[in-house]
Amino acid sequence: MDIRALADSIGYPAAALGILIESTGLPFPGELTLLAVAAYAGTGRLNIVLVIVLAAVGAVAGGDLGYFIGLRGGRPFLERLIRWLHLSPSHLAQAEVFFAHHGDKTILVGRFVLGLRSYASMFAGVARMPFWRF
């Protein structure tokens, strides 16, 4: 199998899954994956509109999954996660206070801020933000 055939077969799933994994809150280069797939779509071998739609679906599904991980795992899950990311408990405390005061705005703005985008959904779940407001 040549590289083009491989890219043709995994391009669409990579667009959706890369963004989905990143949007759940797991460290994963989803944007880089999407950039590579979009560049490949620029050659005409993939439909760029379908790439965009699949990436959007992956982002929404990943955000929802991250929310439910936060909802089920709660604060103990986040405490393990911040240790794994080599952050201090004070970072978690600051994030909780900020989210308590600005939860809705954090979700909206968080989609456009590197670093916050991946974890905003989990914080919404941990904070027990109503799903339909999320």
Mean residue pLDDT of the chain comes to 85
Task: Please compute the mean of the pLDDT values over residues 95-120 and round it to a whole number.
Answer: 79
Collect contacts of 97-104 with beta carbons under 8 A, ≥24 apart.
99/123, 99/124, 99/127, 100/127, 103/127, 103/129, 104/133
Non-local (6+) Cβ contacts of 100 within 8 A are 127
Could you report the per-residue pLDDT of 42-80, keeping only the tens digit for each?
A: 999 999 999 999 999 999 999 999 999 989 988 888 888
Q: How far is Cα 94 from Cα 100, in angstroms, rounded to an integer?
A: 10
Could you report the per-residue pLDDT of 109-123, keeping only the tens digit for each?
A: 877 877 677 778 888
CA distances from 21 to 54, 98, 130 (A): 13, 25, 23
1 pLDDT higher than 70 = no
Tallying the residues shown for the chain, one arrives at: 134
The b/e string for 67-95 (b: 16+ C-beta within 10 A; e otherwise) is bebbbebeeebbeebbeeeeeeeeebeeb
Provide the pLDDT for residue 49. Answer: 96
Provide the pLDDT for residue 68. Answer: 93
Residue predicted with more confidence, 33 or 129: 33
The H or E element that residue 47 is part of is none
Provide the pLDDT for residue 17. Answer: 93
Provide the pLDDT for residue 97. Answer: 82
